[in-house]
Amino acid sequence: MKVAIVYDWINRRQGGAERVLANLHQIWPQAPLYTSVYDPQKARWARKFPKVVTSFVNDMPLARKRAFWFYPLIVLGFEQFDFDKFDLVISVTSGPAKAVITKPETTHICYCLTPPTRHIYNRRLWPFQLAAKQDYILGQRPDYYLTTCKNVSDRIEYYYQRNSKIVYPGIDLKKFKPKSRHCEDYYLVVSRLVKHKKVDLVIKAFNQNRLPLKIIGTGRNENKLKLIAKKNIDFIGEVSDNELVEHYQQCQAVIFPQEEDFGLVPIETQACGKPVIAFKGGGALETIIENKTGKFFYPQKPSALNDVIHKFEPKIYSSKTCRQNAESFSEDSFKIKFRKKVQGCVPAQP
C-alpha cells in the first residue's frame, strides 16, 4: 500500500503535532511528507522522512516565517498536489492540509488536531467569516476522520457535521519516567511562550504567592513575560529532552493553565510520577484524574489558580498512580490503534 502524509506547514521545532508525524513515519517509513512550506533549519525533525514535498508557496518571501498570512494560497497549493499514485493519504492538520483532493480510489483519512477555531471561527471580521465557510467545505473532503480526543471530536461534529473516531496521541514512556530523588520546592511550566498558552496567568499568580516557579520554553511573548515576572520566577528557555525529564522529576507539580485541544505536557508530567495543576477545560479533562493525578482550577484567573496552590499538598499524590495513568497514553499504543483504524477504513489491496 502506497501512503502519503500531509501536514499544514513545517517551520518550527518539534512539538506535539510533530511527534504524531514521527509516529506515523515509524508506521509507514517510506511515506513522503507533503506540506505548504518547509524550513529545514528550524524543523530538523522532518529530515527523517524520505522526501518532503512543498507547494509553490514555499518559494514566496516570508512564507516560511509567516505561513498563516498566505492561508488562501496555501489551500490552493494543497489542491494542486497529485496523489493519484497513492492508495492512502493521511492529513494531519489543524488547518488547510485537509484541502487535498484525491481520486475515489485513494482513501483520505484526516487526523484532525482541531478545527481552526482560534484562528478562524472565533473571529468576527468578514474575511474570517468567509474563511470559516471555506473551511467547512474543505472539511467535507476527507473520507474519514480520526482525532486526538473527545474534546476535538465534539468540535468536528459541531463545525463539520462529521463523525470521528478517537486515537489518543502518545509519549515515549521509556524517556519520561519517575526517578527516586529528592524533590525540590519549585513549580514548573512547560510551554511555548505565546498569548493563548496563558503563561501570563501563572506569572501573575506566582507574583502574588512568591513561590518558586520555573518556566521552560521560548516564544514571541518571552520578553513581555520576563518584564512582568518577579525574582521568584526563573525562565529556563529551551532544554534538551534529558533536562526536561529531570525538571519534571524534581518539581512539586506542573502548572497547565491553557485550554488545550489535547495536550501532551500533562501526560509527560504524570509519566514522570508528578501531579498536574490544570485549568478545568479541554483535553486535560481526559488525561488527569482529579485528586489522584492532579487538581483543576476554575475560572481561568490567577486568583483561582492560587486558591488551588494554597491548598495543594504534593505528598498525597502517588508517583505510581500518576505513572499508571500516563501508561494509557503510550506511543506504542497510538501506533497499534492508529494502524488498526486505518485498516478498517482502507479497502483491502488485491
Same domain, 53 and 120: yes
Q: List the one residue out of 306, 252, 305 whose CA is nearest residue 279.
A: 305
Q: What is the pLDDT of residue 349?
A: 63
* Cβ contact 198:221 at 8 Å: no
Q: List the one residue out of 295, 200, 299 whose CA is nearest residue 252.
A: 295
Same domain, 122 and 10: yes
Q: List the one residue out of 85, 168, 99, 146 whose CA is nearest residue 342.
A: 146
Q: List the one residue out of 208, 255, 217, 253 whose CA is nearest residue 235.
A: 217
Same domain, 223 and 303: yes
Tell me the H-state helices in the chain: 16-27, 71-80, 126-138, 150-160, 199-209, 222-228, 241-250, 265-271, 284-287, 302-311, 319-326, 331-345
The answer to whether residue 181 is domain-embedded is no
Same domain, 280 and 258: yes
The answer to whether residue 175 is domain-embedded is no
The per-residue pLDDT string of the chain (350 residues; one tens digit each, 9 = 90 and over) reads: 999 999 999 998 888 889 999 999 999 999 999 999 999 999 999 999 999 999 999 999 999 988 888 989 999 999 999 999 999 999 999 999 999 999 999 999 999 999 987 778 777 776 778 889 999 999 999 999 999 999 999 999 999 999 999 999 999 999 999 987 667 899 999 999 999 999 999 999 999 999 999 999 999 999 999 999 999 999 999 999 999 999 999 999 999 999 998 999 999 999 999 999 999 999 999 999 999 999 999 999 999 999 999 999 999 999 999 999 999 999 999 999 999 999 998 876 65
End-to-end CA distance of the chain: 10
Same domain, 286 and 193: yes
SS3 285: helix
The range of the structural domain enclosing residue 15 comes to 3-170+331-345
CA dihedral 255, 258, 259, 265 (to 10 degrees): -50
The number of folded domains in the chain is: 2
Q: List the one residue out of 237, 244, 232 whose CA is nearest residue 203.
A: 232
CA dihedral 332, 333, 334, 338 (to 10 degrees): 110
Q: Tell me how far apart the alpha carbons of residues 6 and 162 are, in angstroms, rounded to a whole number.
A: 20
Question: 235 - beta bridge partners?
Answer: 215
Same domain, 264 and 162: no
Same domain, 288 and 321: yes
Q: What is the pLDDT of residue 123?
A: 73
Same domain, 35 and 159: yes
Task: Burial-class residue 104 by CB neighbours within 10 Å (0-12, 13-18, 19+).
Answer: exposed
Q: What is the pLDDT of residue 348?
A: 67
Same domain, 286 and 146: no
Q: Tell me how far apart the alpha carbons of residues 345 and 333 are, in angstroms, rounded to a whole number.
A: 19
Q: Tell me how far apart the alpha carbons of residues 261 and 130 are, in angstroms, rounded to a whole number.
A: 24
Q: Tell me how far apart the alpha carbons of residues 112 and 155 are, in angstroms, rounded to a whole number.
A: 10
Q: Tell me how far apart the alpha carbons of residues 341 and 350 are, in angstroms, rounded to a whole number.
A: 19
In the sheet that holds 52-54, the strands lie side by side as 52-54, 33-35, 3-7, 88-93, 107-112, 144-147, 165-166
The answer to whether residue 113 is domain-embedded is yes
Same domain, 151 and 259: no
**Cell 516565517 found at:** 65
* Cβ contact 174:241 at 8 Å: no
Question: 34 - beta bridge partners?
Answer: 6, 53
Q: Tell me how far apart the alpha carbons of residues 217 and 197 are, in angstroms, rounded to a whole number.
A: 11
Q: What is the pLDDT of residue 182?
A: 67
* Cβ contact 19:32 at 8 Å: no
Q: What is the pLDDT of residue 54?
A: 97
CATH of residue 336's domain is 3.40.50.2000
* Cβ contact 167:336 at 8 Å: no
